[in-house]
Every structure is written in C-alpha cells, then in structure tokens.
Structure 1
Amino acid sequence: MNPLILNLGESSLFKGYTIGELERVFSSIHYRMEKYPLGCLVRSRGSVHDELLILLDGSAVAEMQDQSGKVIRVERLEAPSVLGSAFLFSSDREFPVDLVADDRGSTFLLMSRETVLRLCRNEEKFLLNLLRDIGDRINLLADKLFMLTLGTIKQRLANYLLKLHRSNGRCFELDMSREALADFFGVARPSLSRVFSELVDIGAIATRGRKVEIISVEKLVNILNFER
C-alpha cells in the first residue's frame, strides 16, 4: 500500500480509522493515484465530476474566472483534504472550479462513484464521515453566502470572531490561517491584516499569532450592526 494513504487517517472521510483498518479497506477496493507539478491544472471548471478526489500530499488552489478574465481564488487546500464530496452524487456532476496544484505540487487519491457507494454500503463509519463532510460543506457555503451580504471586511471579520466567541469563549485560536481566512472573505491578505490591526487599535480584540482574545463584544456587535 502506498505510504501516503496512511495520511487518510487525518482526513474527514477516514476519521477514526486505524492504520490496520485503512490497510484492510484499501486492499479491497480500486483506486488510483495522480501527481501534479506546481501550476498544473488538475481539474477544469465544467468538467465531468465522477470521481472523489482526496488531496494526500502538497496543496492545491480552487479558482474561478469572472467575465473580465480576473482569477478569483476561492479556497486553498492543504493535505489531507476531500474535494467534491457534495457534487459527486448531484444530478449535474460538473466540477465547480478550476483546481490547480500549488507550492511543491499535489498528489491525489481518486475513487470512482461506484467505489464510494460500495464503501458506504460496507463501512458505516465511512458513510457517517461522508455525510458529516457534506453537511459541514453546506454549513460553510451558508456562512460564506452570509459573509457576502456584509458590506465591509470589518463586518465580515467581526461576524467571524463573534461566532468563534460563542463557540469557544473569550480566548480562542483561529480555526484557519489568515491567508485562508482572506480567501474565505474574498479579500486580499494585506486588507484583512489591516482590519485586524484596526480592531486591536479600537480595543475590540487582542491578538498573538493565531490566538485571539475578545476584549469588547459590544464593539464587535456595533461594527456588525452599524458599520457601512
């Protein structure tokens, strides 16, 4: 078995699987590996999506191009990551973005729809993980759509920090890097960094790396409700 497959134990689809269980599963199913160098197009937007892709090594970038030709980065993915679980069984199975290998390149494991269905029938743990992954992606999409209704970067950041505050209390660690957060907000990294600094300057938060302390919930709520 390819040693990279052992990375799957850290992925959302195979959460809770031991090394022995991974060896058992992958000795009984058909899969293949694909490796792409930096900058190579892995999948194009609109191509038929009939296989589940799992990023095993390296990183990749999901991009879209608007009518003017401007490339918009949708998401940066780090291994291990699952791609396209929500679209694999949709009626319109088209890949929604351009997927490009990043950094030192990307290595993917691919499984057909039939193989995924077989795993769902035979592996209850895999089925539950797949359903959870799809549900998490729907929640993420809903959050992103709500972010687009907020007019300023400061509002988007205030909303994000208040959500983490509700889940984790006054002090917490960001659940994604600032680069990934900028992609999530659809803004440039320097613009997001400036807004973090502004929130520190007005006494709303304190930061240390990815650690954040909420100093004033009221100030964040006021930004969310009244900033224009």
Structure 2
Amino acid sequence: MIMKSIVELLKNTFLFNGVDEKEIKSILKRYQYSIAHHNPNDIIRFRGDHINEIYVILEGFLVTEMLNNSGEIAKLERLETGEVLATAFIFGNHRQMPMDVLAKEEVTLFILDKENLVELLTENKIIMNNFIADISNRTQYFTKQIWDNFNNKTIAEKLNYYIKLQKNNTNVITLSNSVKELAEKFQVTRPSLSRIISKYIKNNILEKIGRNKYKILSQNYFQ
C-alpha cells in the first residue's frame, strides 16, 4: 500500500483525528509501522496472546468474542473502520488479549508497536489525547455493558430497553441484529428471546411487517 493511501486512511481514524496530512506523512517517515491484511473469518488474535502493539483499522471491521463457561460464544464488541484495537491492553502488568479477535470481512490494519507508540504519544499531544480518550470511552462502554447485562434484567426488560432505543416517529423498528445475534448481545438463548417476541406479537404489542422489522402497536409498553 503506497504512503498516499495510508495517509488518506489514517486521516479518518480516531487515533489520528485532528492531525493534518503533512504531519501524518512525517510520522510515517520517522516511525516504524507495519500494514497487515486479513481475509473474512481470519482470527487476528487469540485470547491470551501477548500484546505489544496497537491495531488501527484502516478498512473493514472486526469483532471480539469470548467463550464462556457453558461453551457458548459471547460477542463482546464490533470495531469499525477508523477504530483502534488494544489501546487498553498494551500497558499494564498483564499485557494479554482477553478475547479472540476475528475479521468479519477483508480487513487492513495499521500496526504500531509499544516502543514507537510511546515515542509518538510523547511527541504529539493530539494523538496522545485521542489515545487517552479511546481508553476512557472503552472503559465507559464496558462498564455500561456489564451493568446492562448483569443487573438482573429479565429478557423482556432487555428487549424493551433495546426497542425503546430503536423507536422512531413512524413506530417501526428494525432489529439491526438477527434474533440469534440479538440473543448473543443479551447473553440469553435464542429460543427464550424468540418466545418473548412471539408473545409480544400474540398480545398485539408488536406486529411483524418484514424481515427483522416490526411495527409498535402499543406505544405505552415501551415508555
């Protein structure tokens, strides 16, 4: 990949947000980095792998997964183009990947090792602030996720909260995830979630009008 393409892609990433093109070019000349390409379903890192670098997603997207004690796969996070992987894991006493990382489509990664990263953060305050903001955002995200998943909400309560967030003025919601993916997000079984949705349809709370698309018949139910 030629430098011009890398610069254009880096400009649109979270880590390099606010850094001008001239400075990015200078950084690429002064710091050692690597570019990695992965195919769909490639496992980029396994849980337990030692981490000594960060990964900036230039193209494509990744998902992080973890195998729970019952043998089921829990999907933790989806990382889109422009986001950074491993900012929270590269420092600390135990620099290990806590989950598996998979490519879900063709992915291009910009990789910077810890030594070069530390020098870059020391030199560039914009990138340093972006890096710290990324760690902070992820901490807040996972704290909220833990709270939402483990505060004893029933399946119906989790579904109600999800629908409340998806509502629009036309009273039509589209489940952006399939029932299977939504069940994984809620960390419940697919049949259990399907039963709740079927019950809502039977009780005229929801009406199915298309693939993963529902009309809200009872607005008060999702206040």
Deviation at 1:202, TM superposition (A): 4.2
Ranges in structure 2 where 5+ consecutive residues have no aligned partner: 207-211
* TM-score, structure 1 normalization: 0.72
1:17-166 mapped onto 2 (5 Å cutoff): 17-103=19-105, 105-148=106-149, 149-159=151-161
Q: Is the 8 A contact 1:144 1:185 kept in 2?
A: no
- Bigger shift: 126-135 or 59-68? 59-68
Which residue pairs with 2:14 in the alignment? 12
Deviation at 1:80, TM superposition (A): 2.0
Letter in 2 for 1:16: G
- 1:169-191: per-residue Cα shift (whole Å, max 9, x none)? x99xx9x9546876653468995
Deviation at 1:162, TM superposition (A): 6.6
SS of 1:108's equivalent in the other structure is: strand
Q: Percentage identity across aligned positions? A: 25
SS of 1:45's equivalent in the other structure is: coil
Letter in 1 for 2:12: E
Ranges in structure 1 where 5+ consecutive residues have no aligned partner: 204-208, 222-228
Which residue pairs with 1:225 in the alignment? none
How many angstroms apart in 1 are the aligned matches of 2:160 and 2:66?
Answer: 26
How many angstroms apart in 2 are the aligned matches of 1:181 and 1:5?
Answer: 36
- Bigger shift: 36-45 or 5-14? 5-14
Relative to structure 1, the CA distance from residue 102 to residue 95 in structure 2 (aligned partners, 3 Å threshold; closer, same or farther) is same
Letter in 2 for 1:123: N
Q: Is the 8 A contact 2:60 2:107 kept in 1?
A: yes
Q: Is the 8 A contact 1:5 1:56 kept in 2?
A: no
How many angstroms apart in 2 are the aligned matches of 1:188 and 1:79?
Answer: 30
Q: CA RMSD, aligned part only?
A: 4.1
- 1:80-114: per-residue Cα shift (whole Å, max 9, x none)? 221111111121111011111212x2211111111
How many angstroms apart in 1 are the aligned matches of 2:81 and 2:98?
Answer: 20
Q: Is the 8 A contact 1:74 1:186 kept in 2?
A: no
SS of 1:129's equivalent in the other structure is: helix
* TM-score, structure 2 normalization: 0.74
